[in-house]
């Protein structure tokens, strides 16, 4: 009997072992891609609004195939790289593709090479679908290749100059000739415009293809920044123009090139040279260009209407703000030639308006104590504007439709969570990427009325994979401190027991207008945070003062003092957590990246009685070292606001360090320079403070490539396990 009892016990133990859930490893996240989130890759809706194309890859074979939107039925193959190959017989490896407006030609982008965050060099080929021929745009890699509206030409940038390739006779036209590295840029942004105004192709065709409007940057007076790259016996010094806070900017001109006559005029943007031109947009009037003009303080925006033939301009809209004006792409010019739909925070929340500059009539399309996210589409035939907003809660995004007159608003996606919407030509359908805090994204095809037509991708493979692992519970939480209620999420360990005490690791970003707490999947570093939860840590993220989707006053309260209120909040959050019965108040840590690294550095120095440890990845350590467009938007210049800069700089707080601190940076960070960490390191040494650091040779702000992320997250994990 005793023998059989042992057998039963052994079998029970074995069964329990087999039933035991897996533990996440760093390799799962950064090597094995265990938790891959599927998308709808290469989705390109076609002009008829009934079909779309996708890039299908199998080994070296790539095909661009047509599908029916409603049924998903596969149709014709528009391009096959094994049938139409390069002159040497090798198949093209397609990184991206796009169609000409008439969908008779395909632009194939290959051999991608990133320069900065948004600018990418490609070798470009044009495939003629009817003729089944392949044509090279240029022998070298180029920037920003874009079809003319008739599909017979391609404009592009090479070596800081703008060119036009005529596909019919295979000839090039040189639009500009004065381009020179670190001096003159035509048709492409300088570094700071690309990073802070969020675009890089600095030219556009008019709707009829008669004109090209383009930017000319003269960055001769902008100070040089030198970054050593450790690639050989001697470092290679990479130099580029980077205007730090208070330093000179590029002088910007807007040029209008007449393609037929090959003549150029300069748009009148005023006599002030120390200003910004954050956008240019062609209106529905084929010869009229809208130019955004923003003063250097960024608190006054004017929209100019420029004549393409003469360059003469007039102001059609002006907006001023006691803090700063937020720049976005949410503007659609209407075919009446005298009005547009746009979004603005002019009344305290970001809302939609219809403005007629001839009659000076401004009509609210949305209103209330919530922010809209952006315009999805404007359907002039139906007189509807489709948009996404956080109306029910700052945590959610839903799709809505409202009349151009502001009437008959409808909610088209009733499900709570986040709906990331992509418009499809004709506005009969929309692509909806839908997720919640704990549900992986599902891609739906929806009708214009919001009805789900079919599911394009449900990520069931990931959902089933997640069930194999011992994941902690993630849930939203309200944290009430400093007379304000803040949104947060919390991950608790899988075996969480309120009777026990747990260490807490706080994560945050905290930058102006940002949002880390939202009803979407995945939250930042979800699976790594789950790995830490499996090891017994509670993970918490709370969006403090200055974050987005709670109105202008909440977002802009940090004006002139970046870091002060945000760090006050995070310290208060930590004290709130410390008082919870299941939290070990002596084991609270914080980490963040970029602005989040600035905050985690500030918090452990300023809140040294609260935080046991901190990790700062690629942090700003004094806003004097960061670029002027971003920094001055919130802080003005160092001359105007020296206390705002220095009173909230980690570099100036080094003597306050008590806990364990890990400082991480890439040596080739073109955005938040390695200089930031060097200066903080120097200050910590001068204060005789002990800390740890890790640098990544030749890595940019994202610190990635090869085994880098694997190494980085192993380093951070080990530091947390050893010090928290």
pLDDT at res. 642: 98
pLDDT at res. 83: 87
pLDDT at res. 5: 47
Tell me the pTM: 0.95
Q: How far apart are CA 377 and CA 426, in angstroms?
A: 10
Decide: 588 and 574 in contact? Cβ < 8 Å: yes
- What is the arithmetic mean of pLDDT over 453-460? 95
Decide: 464 and 458 in contact? Cβ < 8 Å: no
For residue 207, give Cα distances in angstroms to 156, 255, 290, 306, 553. Answer: 17, 17, 13, 15, 39
Question: 462 is written with which tokens?
Answer: 């990931």
- What is the arithmetic mean of pLDDT over 139-159? 97
pLDDT at res. 19: 62
- What is the arithmetic mean of pLDDT over 175-204? 97
Please list, in sequence order, all residues whose beta carbon lies within 8 angstroms of the beta carbon of residue 188, skipping any fewer than 6 positions away: 119, 143, 144, 157, 160, 200, 201, 202, 215
pLDDT at res. 73: 93
CA-closest candidate to residue 223, choices 200, 250, 242, 245 = 242
CA 60 and chain centroid, separation: 30
Tens of pLDDT along 366-411?
A: 999 999 999 999 999 999 999 999 999 999 999 999 999 999 999 9
- What is the arithmetic mean of pLDDT over 75-86? 88
Q: How far apart are CA 314 and CA 306, in angstroms?
A: 7
pLDDT band with cut points at 50, 70 and 90 for residue 602: very high
Helix-then-strand count for the chain, H and E: 12, 44
pLDDT band with cut points at 50, 70 and 90 for residue 568: very high
Domain ranges (residues) in the chain: 464-723
Question: What secondary structure does DSSP assign to 587-601, as a single string?
Answer: EEEEEEETHHHHHHH
**Domain at 464-723, CATH class:** alpha beta
- pLDDT higher than 50, residue 1: no
pLDDT band with cut points at 50, 70 and 90 for residue 314: very high
The DSSP symbol for 315 reads: E
Q: What is the mean pLDDT of the chain?
A: 95
Q: Would you say how long the chain is, in residues?
A: 724
Strongest mean pLDDT among 37-46, 68-77, 120-129: 120-129
- pLDDT higher than 80, residue 14: no
- What is the arithmetic mean of pLDDT over 656-684? 98
Q: How far apart are CA 547 and CA 511, in angstroms?
A: 6
């Amino acid at each position: 009997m005793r023998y059989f009892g042992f057998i039963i016990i052994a079998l029970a133990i074995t069964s329990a072992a087999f039933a035991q859930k897996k533990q996440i490893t760093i390799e799962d996240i950064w090597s094995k891609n265990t938790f891959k989130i599927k998308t709808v890759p290469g989705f390109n809706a076609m002009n008829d609004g009934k079909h779309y194309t996708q890039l299908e890859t199998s080994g070296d074979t790539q095909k661009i195939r047509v599908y029916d939107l409603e049924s998903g039925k596969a149709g014709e193959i528009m391009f096959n790289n094994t049938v139409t190959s390069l002159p040497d017989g090798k198949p093209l490896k397609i990184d991206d593709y796009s169609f000409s407006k008439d969908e008779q030609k395909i632009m194939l982008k290959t051999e991608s090479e990133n320069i900065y965050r948004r600018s990418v060099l490609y070798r470009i080929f044009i495939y003629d679908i009817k003729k089944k021929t392949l044509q090279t745009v240029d022998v070298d890699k180029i920037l920003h290749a874009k079809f003319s509206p008739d599909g017979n030409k391609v404009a592009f940038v090479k070596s800081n100059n703008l060119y036009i390739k005529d596909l019919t006779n295979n000839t090039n036209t040189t639009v500009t000739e004065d381009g020179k590295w670190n001096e003159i840029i035509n048709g492409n942004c300088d570094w700071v415009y690309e990073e802070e105004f969020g675009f890089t192709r600095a030219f556009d065709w008019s709707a009829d293809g008669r004109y090209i409007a383009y930017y000319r940057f003269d960055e001769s007076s902008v100070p040089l920044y030198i970054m050593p790259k450790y690639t050989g016996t001697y470092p290679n010094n990479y130099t580029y123009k980077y205007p730090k806070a208070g330093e000179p900017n590029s002088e910007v001109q807007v040029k209008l090139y007449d393609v037929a006559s090959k003549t150029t005029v300069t748009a009148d943007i005023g006599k002030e040279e120390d200003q910004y031109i954050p956008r240019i947009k062609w209106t529905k009037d084929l010869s009229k260009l809208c130019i955004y003009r923003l003063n250097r303080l960024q608190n006054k925006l004017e929209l100019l209407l420029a004549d393409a033939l003469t360059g003469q301009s007039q102001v059609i809209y002006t907006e001023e703000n006691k803090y700063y004006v937020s720049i976005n792409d949410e503007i659609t010019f209407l075919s009446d030639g005298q009005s547009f739909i746009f979004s603005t925070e002019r009344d305290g929340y970001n809302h939609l308006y219809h403005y007629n500059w001839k009659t000076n009539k401004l009509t609210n399309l949305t209103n209330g104590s919530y922010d809209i996210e952006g315009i999805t589409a404007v359907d002039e035939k139906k007189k509807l504007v489709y948009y996404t907003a956080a109306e029910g809660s700052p945590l959610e995004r839903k799709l809505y439709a409202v009349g151009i007159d502001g009437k008959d608003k409808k909610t088209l996606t009733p499900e709570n969570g986040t709906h990331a919407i992509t418009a499809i030509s004709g506005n009969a359908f929309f692509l909806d990427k839908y997720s919640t805090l704990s549900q992986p994204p599902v891609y739906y095809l929806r009708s214009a009325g919001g009805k789900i037509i079919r599911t394009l991708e449900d990520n069931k493979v990931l959902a089933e994979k997640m069930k194999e692992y011992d994941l902690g519970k993630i849930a939203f939480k309200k944290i009430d401190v400093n007379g304000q209620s803040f949104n947060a999420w919390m991950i608790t360990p899988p075996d969480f027991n309120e009777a026990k005490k747990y260490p807490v690791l706080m994560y945050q970003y905290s930058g102006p207008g940002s949002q880390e707490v939202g009803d979407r999947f995945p939250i930042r570093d979800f699976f790594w945070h789950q790995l830490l939860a499996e090891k017994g840590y509670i993970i918490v993220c709370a969006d403090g003062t200055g974050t987005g989707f709670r109105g202008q006053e909440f977002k802009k309260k940090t004006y002139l003092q970046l870091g002060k209120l945000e760090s006050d909040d995070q310290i208060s959050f930590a004290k709130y957590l410390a008082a919870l019965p299941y939290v070990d108040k002596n084991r609270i840590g914080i980490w963040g990246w970029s602005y989040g690294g600035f905050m985690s550095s500030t918090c452990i120095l300023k809140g040294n009685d609260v935080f046991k440890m901190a990790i700062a990845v690629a942090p700003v350590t004094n806003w004097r070292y960061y670029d002027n467009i971003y920094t001055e938007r919130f802080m003005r210049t160092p001359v105007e606001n020296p206390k705002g800069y220095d009173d909230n700089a980690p570099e100036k707080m080094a003597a306050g360090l008590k806990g364990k601190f890990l400082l991480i940076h890439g040596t080739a960070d073109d955005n938040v320079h390695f200089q930031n960490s060097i200066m903080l390191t120097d200050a910590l040494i001068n204060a005789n403070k002990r800390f740890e650091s890790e640098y990544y040779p030749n890595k940019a702000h994202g610190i990635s490539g090869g085994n880098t992320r694997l190494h980085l997250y192993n380093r951070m994990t080990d530091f947390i396990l050893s010090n928290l």
